[in-house]
Amino acid sequence: MCGICGIHGAHPSNDDVRRVEAMTRLIVHRGPDEGGVERAGRAVLGNRRLSIIDVKGGRMPLSNEDGTVWITFNGQIYNYRELQAELLAKGHRFRSRGDTETIVHLYEEEGEKCVERLRGMFAFAILDRRQGRDKLVLARDRVGVKPLHYAEPAPGRLVFGSELKTVLVGLDRDATVDPEALLEYLVFGYVPAPRTIYREVKKLPAGHVWVSEDGRTRLSRYWDLEFDPRPASEKETSESILAALDDAVAVRLMSEVPLGAFLSGGIDSAAVVTSMARASEGPVRTETIGFSGPGASDERHDARRVAEIVGADHRESVVTPEIGEVLAALSPVLDEPFGDSSVVPTYYVSRAARDRVTVALSGDGGDENFAGYRRYAFDALENRWRGRLPKPVLAALAAAGRAYPKADFLPRPLRFKTLLTNLGRPPDDAYLRSVAFLSPEFARSLLRPEVAAKVACHDPFAGHREHLSRARGLDPLSRIQYLDVKTYLEGDILTKVDRASMAVSLEVRVPLLDHVFMAAAARIPSSQKLEGMRGKACFRRALASRLPRETLEGKKRGFSVPLDRWMRDDLRGRVEALAAEGDPYVDPAAVRRLVLEHRRGRSRHGTAIWSLLMLRLWHERFGDGGARLRREALALEAAGR
């Protein structure tokens, strides 16, 4: 696990070398063990390394035998030993024992198509100087576990990095905020790929390769999730799930440093831990946290039950969140606004785990693979009603929904507004509304008038619609699962896990997002995943022989924080400052209305207020387009610190 960065241009100068050295200093948290910068041809490549495999011999960037192919790599390749054996048989020689050199030699054999042979999580840059060429290849893993950002500030010049801040330092001028990305952030709580919050910088989409050669660039997709449901009995489905699960977990147990797992009260992390226990010789190290205080999430009891079953070396922590402390820890690694508050518990559990391990397995991906989100069941319910009720009745229900109050103060079974209004929308539009943190109309109302005018005609769902159009031939459930893998999973879930874990130099592996496992899940008919309002049906049945009923049937709670209380109490001062001043994007009068409604209990605006606070936090650090960051980073580099 590492951080990568670099500059590719016509004639790299000493200034470019200094810039890349400064860029590597910004991502020491991603690789505290070792750093390296190499000038090769038209490129300067940088790397920071967290040593996991070949701890002493895996220094990067590294090259092939004659220095014509160079790589800087972030991630872990789980099938590298099999690939290495194949390459040795073809005459390649290895100077290290790790997976990075395997990619170099595989690239020599297969070119950019080598990514199709890799099983793992990765982001890398390869410079190919063979036979007088100067070819740069950027690649990112299939679902986006590892991040990669890039900018093309001038023809023939590229700046790239694991984190957005490294690209800002590599640019020669300040980046500018993209108002359309700003609106998308408010709607979704993150900026969907390929956008970033800046016009000049892009994210390399998951499952893509970017190539620069002979003055031309191209972006191509090398992988897609293909749903291919096949008839199978429940027994056959259970057997295939467990076999794929055990395989995906087993390949992720390779490590020369301590390894463990996150364990919550849910079935996804429990499934991973039970599989780890079956493949491990000793007890599995597991980590669980709970928050203290009213309204806080605490799954320690449920996690403890699973830990006792598998005989884990289990540790629990009770956290009293110091929100100022965690914001200070996260703001340097959240390079663009990020509104998912579950980044806070993810940071705390990562920090707790890092005391004992350097690598942790997580259960992320179970909801996307097996239809675990509640919105999947409600989408199916809405589709059934649309198919059975006459259009006039649907129109009347939708009208009633528009008139129905946003009754956050009522018990959940009495909150009908979204359900009713969605009945009057086409299925795609209804689901897109359900995945939004804020509606586009509400998000625009929070912006200053001059900013709102710039995005008046922008459809924040346009990118999501493109993904849905590629999945047009699938059944309704598979289509929205596909959409979530391409958007929410990459932009929110995996971003959260990467930034929070890397803040404490912890490598997190996600076996439920192994592409072989995902392909197996995509072959299961939707009818076995979602049964009525019950998601993950086939996954629960498969795990019935390994986990107790209480775990399998437990209510899904998620990794939540007492957000509403924080807005009223712990963060009151910050909220009041935001309402008084706003920022260059947010209308303070709109914020004051929001805060007043929240405090009076008329509506729960905790998510919206948190999103605005995170926007403000980002603006204070990065809102100048990287000017201050660039000055400070280059000054430190010049001082030789």
pLDDT digits (tens, 9 = 90+) for 334-357: 999 999 999 999 999 999 999 999
Q: At residue 538, what is the residue type?
A: C
Q: Among 171, 193, 223, where does a domain finish?
A: 223
In eight-state DSSP terms, residue 486 is I
How many CA atoms are closer than 13 Å to the CA of 71, on its beta-carbon side?
25
Peptide bond into 283 cis (omega under 30): no
Note whether residue 638 is domain-resident: no
Same-domain pairing of 197 and 177? yes
* pLDDT given at position 556: 65
| Three-state secondary structure call for residue 56 | coil
Note whether residue 455 is domain-resident: no
Note whether residue 579 is domain-resident: yes
* pLDDT given at position 558: 58
* pLDDT given at position 410: 46
Same-domain pairing of 380 and 321? yes
Same-domain pairing of 63 and 143? yes
Same-domain pairing of 121 and 180? yes
Considering its fold, how many domains does the chain have in total?
Answer: 3
Note whether residue 264 is domain-resident: yes
Q: How many whole angstroms separate alpha carbon 616 and alpha carbon 601?
A: 24
pLDDT band at 13 (very low <50, low <70, confident <90, very high): confident
Same-domain pairing of 186 and 231? no
* pLDDT given at position 328: 84
pLDDT band at 536 (very low <50, low <70, confident <90, very high): very high
Q: At residue 75, what is the residue type?
A: G
Same-domain pairing of 493 and 610? no
Note whether residue 15 is domain-resident: yes
| pLDDT single digits (tens) 109-134 | 999 999 999 999 999 999 999 988 89
Range of the domain at 377: 225-435+471-559
User: Is residue 245 within 8 Å of 271, Cβ to Cβ?
Assistant: yes
Same-domain pairing of 244 and 195? no
Note whether residue 458 is domain-resident: no
Instruction: Express as a percent the part of the chain with pLDDT over 90.
Output: 70
* pLDDT given at position 402: 72
Alpha helices (H) in 61-156, listed in sequence order = 80-89, 100-110
Note whether residue 347 is domain-resident: yes
The count of other CB atoms within 10 Å of the CB of residue 256 is 16
* pLDDT given at position 641: 53
pLDDT band at 413 (very low <50, low <70, confident <90, very high): very low
Cα dihedral 158, 161, 163, 164, rounded to 10, equals -10
Q: How many whole angstroms separate alpha carbon 640 and alpha carbon 42?
A: 25
Same-domain pairing of 94 and 6? yes
Q: How many whole angstroms separate alpha carbon 573 and alpha carbon 595?
A: 12
Same-domain pairing of 45 and 99? yes
Q: Among 559, 580, 607, where does a domain finish?
A: 559
Same-domain pairing of 514 and 585? no
pLDDT band at 412 (very low <50, low <70, confident <90, very high): very low
User: Is residue 362 within 8 Å of 276, Cβ to Cβ?
Assistant: no
Per the structure block, which two tokens stand in for 552?
Answer: 């399998």
Phi, psi of 386 (to 5 degrees): -60, -35
